[in-house]
């Protein structure tokens, strides 16, 4: 049993500033018995104070964004990459796009706001939020201007602090073409005061900075429509612009409208001084999405940052039935506006001054804030996150009077209770198959198989590589199905073996449902049904399958069918093992992990069909033994064949090479390294950076197939057209001459690794192993 069973589900929706602070504080002082989950469509969330510096070119993307995946690892929290589209506070469920709803006991919303886009023709404009999408557009625009420096006019709509900062950042980043007149930057505001809401001294200094940077300011210019040619004012006056950027007042997410929560006139969630949604006992809201019933606040990041510690305390108080705190917004605070270059305007109590000193001040404050999240210690085990801190005195040890503190027995394999199991199974889609006579709910599955086909069976088990149970279910199913795909068999039924960490019955039911729902999603997508299985308690979340498939007699593609003259094609990039090893230590960038997961979720079914259509002689999936280990399985005891791998042609996940260089290896890698003794040219391959990736264990890795050389390029084109963009010809198979065949050293070292080479030329030569 894990150190402390979980009894309550606390879910944070949105990766805003306040939630980031809650996660950081939770990492330093967790609450045992409360399971923390963050739901966010972004893996990296921007710190608003540094976004103008990012646009201006003073910072790199990673410097200005909080890595939510790493932050969750440090806090021992689950990370679910998804966008909320509805909440049901009565049933306590969050509806997520493209995946099952998520249940909670306590909910907090920090989903931010978006620029209001109710202007006619808004589709011709680019909003500043979400920042990730805007930044990608900005990079594309910069590249376009560098390659084709034609006359271009940019317009920022919105004269608040954010609009002024954005306009000045653009002007600084484009200062060279702006000085020559090739680029113009316009700031358009419906009112007279720029920036809106600031004292006169600050407005004068900002106006001076805008002028210094050459920004064209349009006051009292109310936009009535946006067109492909620019803007039209309420007086019918046109303003030609090639790019319109929206930094208009914030609007609430539309999906909150039918949430059942009390909202203000603009659609934001009304909250009390404890940050709790009005009329709700289990819902909190902070940041831009919150609106204080007594006295609404401006939508500014400074308030969200100050709300973070109060939210942290009050969430824990709600879970442990202790007193809550009041949030009292600061009436006066220092405001620092970035002015394009390394200059800023400092504003406090009506006074203001501008220059390089305020910029250095602002930069120091921003860097210190970001270090709060990057300097946290990270543990490989989520259950021991925060273990370097003093053991918390407070904790949750029961739910509705039921405690799991007593030792759990292992009777019946620590089987999960019938009520929990039945409740989870009832919510799954009904499993139907022409082969399945009896399945889920019976003691055993009964199938009727066609007499003219072969039964292909395989088993596989996966310890959860991610904290999201739905995603884990998908990965486990794909991992198990790949063995059937590699043999060109059609899956028809699967039996599951699920192990779930000890928790309150309600949490176990939620996890089992999410886990099996993810598995069923992939099984059914491949015309395979879940026909039964077994569930039990354990220390870690695990899911395994015994999968059954059908194959035509003579249609099975075996692992050991290599022939001289074959090309080796790998369908997915390498590096899953090293990236997840780095992630477990808090060293992997969130985007590396996300791209690894995207690769893992790519089914091998399509690739298997393409390979079969191109007469593949042998095929296997690349999993725990790494590329080299599985390649040696394909060679078997053949003494007449030699394989050459080309390192430069190996597809590699982003970040994998860096992780390997830093020595972040999967626990299975040292055992896999024994296979390196089978490489013929040790003096050469030890100098090749990609060599270590040959033994990197892969979860849901790609297929490795031997295809006749004459059709290899056509096969590769078809794989690319099918969406397998990373597929590559990585080597070839040649014949060993008779003399070398009789040499024992040649038999023991059948693989040669070259840094680079042309596979076509390699096929015309015999490369005997070095002795």
Report pLDDT digits (tens) over 477-488. Answer: 999 999 999 999
206 CA to centre of own chain:
39
Token couple for 125: 């404009």
The count of C-alpha atoms lying within 13 angstroms of the C-alpha of 158, restricted to the half-sphere facing its C-beta, is 25
What burial class does residue 192 get, using C-beta atoms within 10 Å of its C-beta: 0-12 exposed, 13-18 middle, 19+ buried? Answer: exposed
CA 604 vs CA 93, 481, 530, 595, 607: distances in Å: 34, 8, 19, 17, 5
The answer to whether 12 and 38 have CB atoms below 8 angstroms apart is yes
How far is residue 115's CA from residue 423's CA, in Å, rounded to a whole number? 42
Please give the sequence-ordered ranges of beta strands (E in DSSP) within 132-176, or none if there are none.
Answer: 152-157
Q: What are the φ/ψ torsions at residue 503 (nearest 5 degrees)? A: -160, 170
Cis peptide bond prior to 130, omega within 30° of 0: yes
Decide whether 8-41+82-113+252-331 matches 114-251+332-379 in CATH topology: yes
pLDDT tens figures, 416-459: 888 888 888 888 888 888 888 887 766 688 888 899 999 999 99
- Lowest-confidence segment of 122-126, 173-177, 463-467, 746-750 by average pLDDT: 746-750
What burial class does residue 236 get, using C-beta atoms within 10 Å of its C-beta: 0-12 exposed, 13-18 middle, 19+ buried? Answer: exposed
Beta bridge partners of residue 459, listed in sequence order: 546
pLDDT tens figures, 290-315: 998 777 776 676 778 899 999 999 99
pLDDT bin (cut points 50, 70, 90) of residue 637 is confident
In the numeric block, the tokens 């369908």 are attached to 571
The count of C-alpha atoms lying within 13 angstroms of the C-alpha of 555, restricted to the half-sphere facing its C-beta, is 19
Token couple for 654: 């982003």
Kind of pairing between the strands at 283-285 and 106-109: parallel
Q: Which fold has domain 414-551?
A: 60s Ribosomal Protein L30; Chain: A; (3.30.1330)
How far is residue 641's CA from residue 453's CA, in Å, rounded to a whole number? 32
Instruction: Please state the rounded mean pLDDT for residues 233-239.
Output: 93
pLDDT of residue 385: 44
pLDDT tens figures, 18-28: 999 999 999 99
Residue % of the chain over a pLDDT of 90: 68
pLDDT of residue 256: 93
pLDDT tens figures, 590-610: 999 999 999 999 999 999 999
Greater confidence, 757 or 290? 290
Nearest 10 degrees: Cα torsion 735, 736, 737, 741: -140
pLDDT tens figures, 673-700: 999 999 988 777 777 878 899 999 999 9
pLDDT of 389 strictly over 60: no
pLDDT of residue 765: 60
In the numeric block, the tokens 């998804």 are attached to 82
pLDDT of 767 strictly over 60: no
Q: Find the radius of gyration of the CA atoms of the chain.
A: 30
Question: CATH for 114-251+332-379?
Answer: 3.50.50.100
Q: Which helix (H) or strand (E) holds 203?
A: helix 200-212
The answer to whether 267 and 252 have CB atoms below 8 angstroms apart is yes
The answer to whether 70 and 586 have CB atoms below 8 angstroms apart is yes
pLDDT bin (cut points 50, 70, 90) of residue 114 is confident
The answer to whether 386 and 23 have CB atoms below 8 angstroms apart is no
Greater confidence, 768 or 298? 298
- Lowest-confidence segment of 96-110, 146-160, 256-270 by average pLDDT: 146-160
Catalytic residue among 164, 412, 567, 700: 412
The answer to whether 754 and 679 have CB atoms below 8 angstroms apart is no
Residue % of the chain over a pLDDT of 70: 93
pLDDT of residue 481: 97
CB-based contacts of 413, cutoff 8 Å, min separation 6: 534, 536
pLDDT of 3 strictly over 70: no
pLDDT of residue 492: 95
Q: What are the φ/ψ torsions at residue 348 (nearest 5 degrees)? A: -160, 135
pLDDT of 144 strictly over 60: yes
- The domain 566-763 belongs to what CATH superfamily? PurM-like C-terminal domain (3.90.650.10)
What does the mean pLDDT of the chain come to?
Answer: 89
pLDDT of residue 334: 84
Q: What are the φ/ψ torsions at residue 273 (nearest 5 degrees)? A: -70, -10
Residue 588 is classified by DSSP as S
pLDDT of residue 684: 79
pLDDT of 744 strictly over 60: no
pLDDT of residue 442: 67
pLDDT of 390 strictly over 70: no
Q: What are the φ/ψ torsions at residue 284 (nearest 5 degrees)? A: -120, 160
pLDDT of residue 769: 45
How far is residue 693's CA from residue 590's CA, in Å, rounded to a whole number? 20
Greater confidence, 716 or 292? 716
Greater confidence, 11 or 403? 11
pLDDT of 770 strictly over 50: no
Instruction: Please state the rounded mean pLDDT for residues 536-541.
Output: 90
pLDDT tens figures, 393-424: 578 888 887 878 665 655 555 678 888 888 88
* 3 state DSSP class of 706: strand
Q: Give DSSP secondary structure letters for 240-305.
A: E-SEEEE-PPEE--GGGGGSSS-B-TTSPEEE-TTSBBTT-SSEEE-GGGEEESSS-----HHHHH
How far is residue 162's CA from residue 247's CA, in Å, rounded to a whole number? 7
Instruction: Please state the rounded mean pLDDT for residues 721-726.
Output: 96
Q: For residue 346, give the nearest of 215, 159, 205 by alpha carbon.
A: 205
Q: Would you call 412 a catalytic residue per the annotation? A: yes
Domain locations in the chain as residue ranges: 8-41+82-113+252-331, 114-251+332-379, 414-551, 566-763
- What is 8-41+82-113+252-331's CATH number, 3.20.20.70, 3.30.70.920, 3.50.50.60, 3.40.50.300? 3.50.50.60
pLDDT tens figures, 546-583: 999 999 998 899 999 899 999 999 999 999 999 999 99
The answer to whether 398 and 498 have CB atoms below 8 angstroms apart is no
């Amino acid at each position: 049993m894990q150190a402390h069973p979980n009894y309550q589900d606390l879910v944070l929706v949105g990766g805003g500033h306040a939630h980031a602070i809650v996660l950081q504080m939770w990492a330093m002082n967790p609450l045992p018995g409360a399971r923390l989950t963050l739901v966010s469509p972004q893996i990296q969330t921007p710190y608003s104070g540094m976004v103008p510096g990012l646009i201006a070119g003073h910072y790199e993307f990673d410097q200005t964004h909080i890595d939510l995946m790493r932050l969750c690892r440090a806090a021992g929290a689950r990370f679910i990459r998804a966008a909320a589209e509805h909440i049901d506070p009565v049933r306590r469920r969050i509806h997520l796009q493209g995946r099952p709803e998520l249940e909670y006991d306590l909910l907090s919303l920090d989903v931010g706001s978006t620029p209001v886009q109710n202007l006619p023709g808004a589709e011709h404009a680019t909003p500043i939020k979400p920042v990730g999408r805007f930044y990608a557009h900005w990079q594309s625009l910069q590249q376009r201007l560098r390659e084709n420096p034609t006359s271009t006019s940019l317009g920022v709509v919105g004269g608040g602090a954010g609009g002024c900062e954005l306009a000045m950042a653009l002007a600084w980043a484009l200062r060279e073409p702006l000085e020559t007149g090739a680029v113009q930057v316009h700031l358009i505001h419906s009112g007279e005061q720029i920036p809106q809401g600031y004292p006169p001294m600050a407005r004068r200094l900002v106006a001076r900075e805008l002028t210094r940077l050459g920004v064209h300011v349009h006051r009292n210019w109310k936009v009535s429509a946006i067109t492909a040619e620019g803007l039209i004012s309420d007086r019918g006056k046109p303003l030609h612009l090639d790019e319109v950027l929206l930094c208009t007042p914030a609007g609430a997410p539309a999906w909150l409208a039918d949430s059942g929560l009390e909202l203000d006139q603009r659609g934001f969630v009304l909250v009390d001084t404890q940050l709790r949604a009005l009329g709700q006992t289990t819902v909190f809201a902070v940041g831009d999405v919150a609106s204080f019933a007594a006295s609404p606040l401006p939508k500014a990041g400074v308030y969200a940052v100050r709300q973070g510690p109060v939210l942290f305390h009050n969430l824990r108080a709600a879970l442990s039935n202790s007193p809550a705190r009041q949030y009292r917004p600061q009436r006066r605070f220092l405001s620092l506006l970035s002015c394009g270059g390394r200059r800023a305007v400092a504003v406090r109590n009506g006074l203001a001054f501008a220059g390089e000193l305020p910029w250095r001040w602002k930069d120091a404050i921003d860097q210190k804030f970001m270090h709060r999240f990057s300097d946290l210690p990270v543990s490989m085990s989520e259950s021991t996150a925060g273990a370097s801190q003093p053991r918390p005195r407070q904790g949750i040890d029961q739910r509705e009077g039921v405690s799991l503190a007593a030792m759990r027995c292992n009777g019946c394999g620590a089987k999960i209770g019938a009520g929990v199991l039945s409740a989870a199974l009832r919510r799954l889609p009904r499993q139907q198959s022409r082969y399945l006579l009896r399945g889920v709910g019976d003691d055993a599955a009964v199938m009727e198989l066609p007499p003219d086909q072969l039964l292909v069976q395989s088993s596989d088990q996966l310890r959860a590589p991610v904290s999201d149970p739905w995603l884990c279910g998908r990965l486990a199913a794909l991992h198990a199905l790949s063995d059937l795909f590699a043999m060109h068999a059609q899956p028809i039924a699967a039996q599951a073996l699920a192990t779930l960490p000890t928790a309150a019955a309600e949490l176990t039911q939620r996890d089992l449902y999410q886990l099996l729902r993810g598995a069923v999603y992939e099984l059914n997508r491949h015309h395979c049904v879940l026909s039964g299985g077994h569930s039990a308690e354990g220390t870690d979340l695990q899911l395994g399958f015994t999968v059954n498939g059908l194959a035509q007699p003579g249609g099975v593609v075996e692992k050991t069918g290599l022939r001289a003259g074959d090309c080796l094609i790998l369908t997915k990039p390498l590096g899953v093992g090293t990236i997840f090893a780095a992630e477990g230590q808090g060293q992997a960038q969130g985007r590396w992990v996300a791209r690894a997961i995207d690769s893992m979720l790519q089914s091998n079914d399509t690739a298997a069909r393409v390979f079969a259509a191109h007469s593949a002689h042998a095929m296997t999936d690349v999993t725990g033994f790494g590329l080299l280990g599985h390649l040696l399985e394909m060679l078997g005891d053949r003494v007449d064949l030699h394989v050459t791998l080309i390192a430069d042609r190996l597809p590699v996940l982003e970040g994998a090479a860096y992780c390997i260089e830093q020595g972040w290896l999967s626990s299975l890698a040292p055992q896999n390294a024994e296979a390196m003794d089978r490489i013929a040219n040790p003096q050469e391959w030890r100098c090749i950076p990609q060599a270590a990736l040959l033994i990197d264990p892969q979860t849901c890795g790609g297929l490795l197939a031997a295809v006749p050389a004459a059709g290899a390029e056509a096969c590769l084109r078809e794989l690319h057209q099918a969406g397998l963009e990373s597929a590559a010809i990585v080597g070839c198979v040649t014949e060993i001459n008779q003399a070398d065949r009789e040499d024992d050293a040649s038999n023991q070292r059948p693989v040669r690794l070259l840094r680079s080479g042309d596979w076509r030329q390699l096929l015309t030569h015999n490369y005997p192993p070095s002795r």
